[in-house]
Chains A and B, each alone.
Chain A
Amino acid sequence: MSGERTRKVQNAETASDATGIENGADAVVRALENAGVKHLFGIQGGAIMPVYDAIYDSEMNHITMAHEQGAVHAADAYGIVTGEPGVCMATSGPGATNLVTGIADANMDSDPLVALTGQVPTDVVGNDAFQETDAVGITSPVTKANTFADDPDSVGTDVGTAFALAKHGRQGPTLVDLPKDVTKGETETDPGGPTLPETYDSPEAADPDAVSGAAATIRKAERPVILAGGGVIKAEASDELRAFAMEHEIPVVTTMPGTGSFPEDHELSMEIVGMHGTGYANMAITVTDCLLAVGTRFDDRLTGGVETFAPDAEVIHIDIDPAEVSKNIEADHPLIGDAKAVLDQLADAMTGSPSTGAWLEQCETWKEEYSMEYAAPEDEPVKPQYVVERFDEATPEDTIVTAGVGQHQMWAWQYWTWTQPRTWVTSHGLGAMGYGLPGAIGAKLAAPDREVVCFDGDGSFLMTCQELSVAVREDLDITVVVLNNEAIGMVRQWQDVFFGQRHMASDYPWIPEFDTLAEAFGARGFRIDTDEEVEGVIEEALAYDGPSVVDVHIDPGEKVYPMVPGGGDNGLFALTEEQL
């Protein structure tokens, strides 16, 4: 499409001077180009129009989404898959407020994201003008940094700084609010490349004495466990982590964002930990005497009640953000720095390996005792776990999986075998339903040559299914698998256990036919009602070159187990409803 346009920068007669920049909007676009941005996700609107007008002359690819929430989730997923900040944009007022959910999600998960919002002209800011909201005020609690651009000469630099801040140190979302008179205002200043503020610094290597102390603790440990968080993936430290675990024969558990940082098909993998983690991972993390935690913020869904979390463990905590260390769980050995650099330091500081033979045997016993099995009698409806496993088998190892939030997300997490970083793309900390489909769109644009499968729930899918129009228009080869139990399933599961089976506002008997809905959007629609249909439909859906939706009518009675109730003891995970 951009090829049909007359590019301003190529037309020397209309370009104001050597920079080819005429106004603030041009500077914004140039800043994004200088940062290497290729895709933008957004929606037009009054106050952001000057910026869109400048994009007309750019080779960057703008994806018009159906809703701003779709734009921000797509940009977020793009950031997770590539490691580079995804960029979303929206107009002022409702455009900006519709971004907030996705910005908050990126903030919880430390995803690199830049949000650009239009704003009413500065002379009417504060007057409750049409489509005016205080975007900086609203997003302050959920951004790493945000700013109100007030000068055409510096607006491009503001955007570059936002990009640099999103990417460096502990990653996170940033926002630049762009008043219309500032983007329309004259300037010829080229903003240059993304630059961090002078006052910003982020730790690289950890204190060597602390590293030595940690190494000595690991060396003498009897029951060590490595807890790999999302920071391992953010820091590109998966190789270092794997090497360390293998060298010293230490079992590894992963948090939800850390999933994929250590291959689950390796014998040292105890897989996933926390509320719906495996029984063996939760046993290991409860009984450990030495916990090497890397890039994790000890979320409550991981720890359960802190009183009973790894109560015998000396904790070594590697994190780039000092505020995460001893925030929820006290670190006996705080190692503040970049995970990749600190794991290297730690590897060098090790003077020998702990004796973990007996401990690994114990871990193996737990793996057998608590193996992840699900009942699948022949006369019962399709089990969601079975669908996840069959998709895993039918797709390449580097397949990217996105998900919404709820039971389907947990089944995907539990029953997919994760072997690579940046393949598990979902809303972890915020738990934002509706993430899956826009996330798949962002992931596919980030990795066009890889298979992208979105596991969604019927409730989550209904929140953002309008983004199918985007997938069809952009001809994106993604497969959406709706694990349909005609309910907000996780809520219903909790109601069964904690609210006396009173299913208030959780059953969805009015659910649409998603295969028909997909066809209405121009996508392919499939439906599965029995086990026998699963393999054939998977094959057909994956072979279809374009977006497809597989509506799987699963057993509505299926629950997510194991489960540690909120604030509970990880070691007391329940295997059945009766054990809660």
Chain B
Amino acid sequence: MSRRRNVQQEGLEGPPPEERKRPIGRRNSQGIRIDPEVEAEPEPRRTTISAYVENEPGVLARVSGLFHRRQFNIESLTVGPTQNEGYSRITLVVEEPDPGIDQIQKQLEKLIPVIHVRELDRNPVARELIILKVDGEEPDKVQAITDMYDGEALDAGPETVTVQITGSEEKIDDAIDAFKQFNIREIARTGQAALARGAEETARVEERHT
């Protein structure tokens, strides 16, 4: 083949950067073409993602490792067995802009033990559980607050009362505020568990993944 590059004394030539005619368009940091005059960066939003997974050792480590190394912002993660032996459901609450939420689902789908992933719509059936241990000096008042939140006393002794509250994330947050008056000693809070509302399936169990 003939040489296509010439050996010259000068080296690389051509119009310098400032003389080049270049486009005026722009993309944002997500690589989306934008009008820089009007469009701002997309805002993060909070959403629930449900993953139906094979219940094999290490699956949780794979999922949490993925979130860590790709810097996805995760609010909570719960995992537990399903009605189908050998399969678990992982429920994730995440806060990301739309491209991030899209990328989370695609990356989860790539994990071999993950059967199906979907974002639940804005109104899933979702619950959290919290166990609170507070000072036991005013058990009647503790019981009253617990009743207000449809909770249940689990343990009471001379020093402490321990109660459980279940409900939406907002309700749990409210309850924690209400119990602060009794000096909260310890909290154990699950993440969110969620299913799609109505007859809609949360996971397409037969779904093959790519």
Which positions in A face B, CB cutoff 8 Å? 136-137, 140-141, 144-145, 148, 165, 169, 197, 199-203, 264-265, 279, 283, 286-287, 298, 303, 306-309, 311-312, 321-323, 326-330, 366, 369-377, 385-386, 389, 392-393, 397, 415, 417, 419, 561-562, 569, 571-576, 579
Which of B25, B54, B58, B115 is A140 in contact with, Cβ under 8 Å?
Answer: B58
Residue of A nearest to B4 (CB): A417
Q: Is B180 an interface residue (CB 8 A)?
A: no
Question: B198 — which chain A residues lie within 8 A by C-beta?
Answer: none
When A326-B102, A389-B5, A572-B20 are in contact, do A373 and B11 touch as well, CB less than 8 Å?
yes
The 6 lowest CB-CB distance pairs between A and B, nearest first, are: A311-B25, A323-B106, A201-B208, A375-B11, A329-B31, A369-B14
The answer to whether B31 touches A579, judged by C-beta atoms less than 8 angstroms apart, is no
Given A307-B29, A373-B11, A571-B20, output 12 extra A-B contacts at Cβ < 8 Å: A202-B210, A264-B4, A279-B12, A306-B30, A371-B6, A372-B12, A373-B7, A373-B8, A374-B5, A374-B8, A392-B1, A417-B1
A264 to B5, CA, bound (A): 12
The residues of A that contact B62 with a CB separation of less than 8 Å are: 140
CB<8 Å pairs between A and B, sample of 8: A140-B61, A306-B29, A323-B107, A329-B27, A369-B15, A374-B7, A571-B20, A571-B23
Within 8 A of A (CB), among B165-210: 208-210
- CA gap between A144 and B6 in the complex, in Å: 44
Given known A286-B23, A561-B12, A571-B20, contact A201–B210 (CB-CB < 8 A): yes
Q: Are B109 and A373 neighbours in the complex by a CB distance under 8 Å?
A: no
Known contacts A283-B20, A575-B16: A326-B208 contact under CB 8 Å = no
Q: How far is the CA of A417 from the CA of B15 in the complex (A)?
A: 24
- Contact check, B112 vs A145: say whether CB atoms are below 8 A apart: yes
B residues 1-50 near A (Cβ < 8 Å) are 1, 3-17, 20-33
Q: Is the CB of B27 within 8 A of A165?
A: no
| Chain B residues whose C-beta falls within 8 Å of the C-beta of A309 in the assembled complex | 27, 31
Contact between B12 and A576, CB atoms less than 8 A apart:
yes
B28→A141 contact, CB < 8 A: no
B99 sits at the interface (CB 8 A) = yes
A576 to B10, CA, bound (A): 11
A419, B210: Cα distance in complex, Å: 32
B68-92 residues at the A interface, CB under 8 angstroms = 69
CB–CB B12/A572 < 8 A: no
Task: Tell me the minimal C-beta distance from B59 to chain A in angstroms.
Answer: 11
In the complex, whether B123 has a CB less than 8 A from a CB of chain A is no
Which residues on B are within 8 Å of A, measured CB to CB?
1, 3-17, 20-33, 54, 57-58, 61-62, 65, 69, 99, 102-103, 106-107, 109-110, 112, 115, 208-210
Q: Is the CB of B112 within 8 A of A197?
A: yes
User: When chains A and B are docked, how far (Å) is the Cα of A441 from the Cα of B210?
Assistant: 34
- Output the least CB separation between B84 and chain A (Å): 13
Q: How far is the CA of A397 from the CA of B11 in the complex (A)?
A: 27
Chain B residues with Cβ under 8 A from A573's Cβ?
17
Of all chain A residues, the one with the shortest Cβ separation from B114 is A199
In the assembled complex, how far is the CB of residue B206 from the closest CB belonging to chain A, in whole angstroms? 10
By the criterion CB–CB under 8 Å, are A330 and B1 in contact? no
Q: Which of B25, B110, B209, B210 has the most CB of A within 10 A?
A: B210
Q: Are B99 and A326 in contact (CB under 8 A)?
A: yes
Structural contact, B30 and A330, CB atoms closer than 8 A: yes
Once the chains bind, are A169 and B102 in contact (CB under 8 Å)? no
- B residues less than 8 Å from A417 (CB atoms): 1, 4
The listed residue (A136, A199, A370) touching B208 by CB distance below 8 A is A199
> Which of A145, A309, A373 has most chain B Cβ within 10 Å?
A373
**Contact with A298, one of B6, B15, B31 (Cβ below 8 angstroms):** B31
Report chain B residues within 8 Å CB of A392.
1
Partner of B23, one of A141, A144, A312, A575: A312
- B109 close to A369 (CB less than 8 A): no
**Which residue of chain A has its CB nearest to the CB of B115?**
A199
B42 to chain A, nearest CB (A): 11
Q: How far is the CA of A392 from the CA of B4 in the complex (A)?
A: 12
On whether A386 and B25 interact (CB within 8 A), knowing A265-B1, A326-B99, A579-B17, the answer reads no
B5 touches A371 (CB 8 A): yes
Closest Cβ of chain B to A556, distance in Å, is: 16
* Distance (whole angstroms) from the CB of A144 to the closest CB of chain B: 8
Q: Are A287 and B22 in contact (CB under 8 A)?
A: yes
Q: Once bound together, how far apart are the Cα atoms of A264 and B1, in whole Å?
A: 11
Alpha-carbon gap, A27 to B13, bound state (A):
61
A141 close to B33 (CB less than 8 A) = no
Nearest chain B CB to A368's CB is how many angstroms away?
A: 9
**B28 CB contacts on chain A under 8 angstroms:** 307
Complex Cα gap A103–B115 (Å): 25
> Nearest chain B CB to A561's CB is how many angstroms away?
6
The one of A308, A323, A572 in contact with B109, judged by C-beta atoms closer than 8 angstroms, is: A323
Q: Is the CB of A323 within 8 A of B110?
A: yes
- Give A169 to B208 CA distance when docked, in angstroms: 13
A492 to B61, CA, bound (A): 40
A415 to B5, CA, bound (A): 8
Residue pair B11, A576 in contact (C-beta under 8 Å):
yes
CB of A303, distance to nearest CB on chain B (Å): 8
- A203 in complex: contacting residue of B20, B106, B115, B210, CB < 8 Å: B210
Q: Which residues of A contact B17 (CB under 8 A)?
A: 571-574, 579
> When the two chains form their complex, are residues B33 and A575 in contact, meaning their CB atoms are under 8 A apart?
no
Cβ-defined contact, B29 with A386, below 8 A: no
